[in-house]
Structure 1
Amino acid sequence: MAEPFKNLINREGVAAMRRQLRRAWAGFDGARFEALALDGLEALELKARAQHLGAALEATLPEDFDAACSVIEASLVPVRGDEELGELRAGDQGLAGWPVWPLTEFVARRGLGHPERALRCLHALTQRFTAEWAVRPFIVAQPELAFATLARWTGDASPHVRRLASEGSRPRLPWGLQLKALIADPSPTLPLLEALLDDPSEYVRRSVANHLNDIAKDHPALVVGWVLRHLPDASPERRALLKHASRTLIKQGDARMLKAWGLGRRFAGTATLGLQPKKIRVGDSLALTLALHSTAKRAQKLVIDYAVHHVKANGERSPKVFKGWTIELAAGESRTLAKQHSMRTVTTRRYHAGRHAIDLRINGEIVAEAEFDLKL
């Protein structure tokens, strides 16, 4: 059985924090910090653990925020700036990796009254672990200062700092404080994305793509226009970024986005969708079989997705679109495609028994449907 994700923040990490914070500041009460940090830790999930340790830091780091930041910065491992964050670990030289998350929580809690100093500290922390969640309260409370800082960070030598400019300002960042003002109007972040569009780091470009995909959920026309403006003569790296940014609108069958990628033509041919078995239980998998036959006189580029219409508690159905295949079907060609769709339990969805449906979408158009029964 896989180790629970929450255990990434653990007793060993707390012990490392105690050692390195004590090394950085002789006055640090490591015993009190460890007692506070471990009290109730095992019962908490991952994000709650980071917040819990952040509270323990509030009780034990210096009252003076500038002094506290200096202690935090002195406790960190030295970095060159180009390391993979996943390779960094807490060790004899200092803190890095998961134990740094609670440090960012401390800065987010205590730093709102000292935003310039707090942002300098996050600049250091994000090079040892991401500060993407901690920077968001500053965007809400001090937008002018925050965006001026993020704009400056787009030119930083460290890819981790450059990525923070994009990732930290995503409107709908998972696990992060929702930036409602940017959901309503994402224009303040667009200059940041423009500056990072052709960043040399794929890690940074992937963040830009995810940021644009966030925006597409609320402002699809804006992202379609962005793609149309930046796609002509794009490098392979930029094309990959733009394609990843387009994924939600492509899955939704947005006609403008499909056309931008040359996928807007209606499928010429027949499509038959088969499901096996027709009755399954939660935890089982459903076998999807798609039989295609082209009646076109030339090859067709096809984006094939499918939506599972899950039964809700009130008996109604709610569709969720899943990625299927992207293929080129030759003139007159027949092809069979197969896929397994798991109905295992996930934390983001609660299953209800009843008659579910699946529809198949080719280039955004529903071309076939089928149903199956789900039992709990």
Structure 2
Amino acid sequence: MGAMNELINRQSVGVLAGILVTAAPAARWPALAGAGTGLAELSLRQRTDQVSAALVADLAHLPDPGYATAAHVLRKALADPGLTGWILWPVSEAAVTLALESDDARDFGDCLAFLAELTPRLTGEFAIRRLLARDPDAALQAIRTWTGHPDEHVRRLASEGTRAYLPWAVRVPALVQRPEATLPILDALYRDPSEYVRRSVANHLNDLARHAPAVVVSTAAGWLAAPDANTAWVVRHGLRTLVKKGHPEALALQGFEPASVAVSELRLDRIEVAMPGDLGFEFEISNSGSERARLAVDYAVHYRKANGSQSVKIFKLTALTLAPGETRTLGKRHAFKPMTTRVHHPGLHALELQVNGLRHGRAEFNVRT
């Protein structure tokens, strides 16, 4: 995470200050100059907030201060190709702060337009969240027009900035409470020519699956009824969480219908895993029915928690089709190593198989840290 923090540093703040001096020669930027110091112990988000607050403070001392004047200066700065990278995050946040403080309703829409202008250099997906929170209907009305924008970065912003659970971003309650509100954006973009945009659409759909699975399944079914060459991938990626959870309708959309299968006992290559290490497992799966069976084969790891209970996480193994009577041997090695996203606790763990959403077998093992 330390390397991520350094995306905004004293040097990048100095570059921003130099560009602003050129954009507004009569202005002074003392708060911004001071913001470049004292960054070492701050996270990336904290650095963004510090630089953004300094920008707002300095922009307040411009002649005729307010959003309109600040936007004019920031747009002049943006004309410099050297203004790029993560230093634009605090620039975008400063613009949003001033727009939300403005009494002129036009500044809200202009700030959205400014974020669209800025996003090809970095992204406006984080700053746009506060505009969505203030007036989701007005923001979404403007954002929907971006789905036809010639720049793929702006089209992606329409999808990425409106995700319900965008990583690193503030939550927007309306996006969770009204899952249908962003569907016109996704419907306009799921066949986008850019993979960059389509991946965002799939991740957006997967976000919605956390609280609106019925909406997600219905939307995916509509897309599959009017597909292009990339629609199958978008739907598969967008349904990945529901498929892992064994959602019957999501599985059926992917061709994983209920099937008669026989699964052998799980064979582990050890009963104790020393961290860092890995666990190998193997099993046989057979089609015991009279029809060909398309199978989504996953596995669940039951991790020990600090309080002694267990939490489960599903991992993809494979998808395969078995003829009647056919048997296949499958296996994998699963790694146990320190991760920033998971703390491993010593003690009893377990592994289960999951086939088309149904669990099969259970094998227990210990992890030693």
Question: TM-score if structure 2 supplies the norm length?
Answer: 0.90
Aligned-residue sequence identity (percent) comes to 37
Counterpart selection for 2:235 from 242, 246, 262: 242
CA contact 1:302–1:327 (8 Å) conserved in 2: yes
2:9 & 2:196 partners in 1: Cα distance?
27
1:304 & 1:343 partners in 2: Cα distance?
21
Residue 87 of structure 1 is matched in structure 2 by none
Residue 266 of structure 1 is matched in structure 2 by 259
1:250 Cα deviation from its structure 2 partner: 0.7
Deviation digits for residues 266-307 of structure 1 (CA, Å, limit 9, x no counterpart): 252323323333212343222233333444455432211111
Residue 7 of structure 1 is matched in structure 2 by 6
Residue 206 of structure 2 is matched in structure 1 by 213
Deviation digits for residues 41-66 of structure 1 (CA, Å, limit 9, x no counterpart): 11122222222221222222344222
Deviation digits for residues 137-194 of structure 1 (CA, Å, limit 9, x no counterpart): 1111112220111111122221111111111111111111112222122121111111
CA contact 1:272–1:292 (8 Å) conserved in 2: no
Instruction: Find out whether 1:254 has 2:247 as its counterpart.
Output: yes
Residue 116 of structure 2 is matched in structure 1 by 123
AA aligned opposite 1:100: L
CA contact 1:77–1:96 (8 Å) conserved in 2: no
Counterpart selection for 1:194 from 187, 196, 215: 187
Instruction: Find out whether 1:275 has 2:274 as its counterpart.
Output: no
Counterpart selection for 1:108 from 84, 87, 96: 96
Residue 43 of structure 1 is matched in structure 2 by 41
| More divergent stretch after superposition (356-365 vs 314-323) | 314-323
Change (3 A) 1:267 1:25: farther
1:267 & 1:76 partners in 2: Cα distance?
61
2:137 & 2:2 partners in 1: Cα distance?
42
CA contact 1:166–1:208 (8 Å) conserved in 2: yes
Instruction: Find out whether 1:56 has 2:44 as its counterpart.
Output: no
Residue 99 of structure 1 is matched in structure 2 by 87
CA contact 2:179–2:208 (8 Å) conserved in 1: yes
Equivalent residue pairs, number: 360
1:343 Cα deviation from its structure 2 partner: 2.1
CA contact 2:259–2:289 (8 Å) conserved in 1: no
1:212 & 1:72 partners in 2: Cα distance?
34
After TM superposition, list the pairs within 5 Å mapping 1:1-376 onto structure 2.
Answer: 4-30=3-29, 32-39=31-38, 41-61=39-59, 62=62, 63-76=65-78, 93-112=81-100, 113=102, 114-297=107-290, 299-376=292-369
CA contact 1:170–1:211 (8 Å) conserved in 2: yes
Change (3 A) 1:136 1:233: closer
1:210 Cα deviation from its structure 2 partner: 1.1
RMSD of aligned Cα (Å): 2.2
AA aligned opposite 2:55: L
Listed as ranges, the gaps of 5+ residues in structure 1 are 79-92
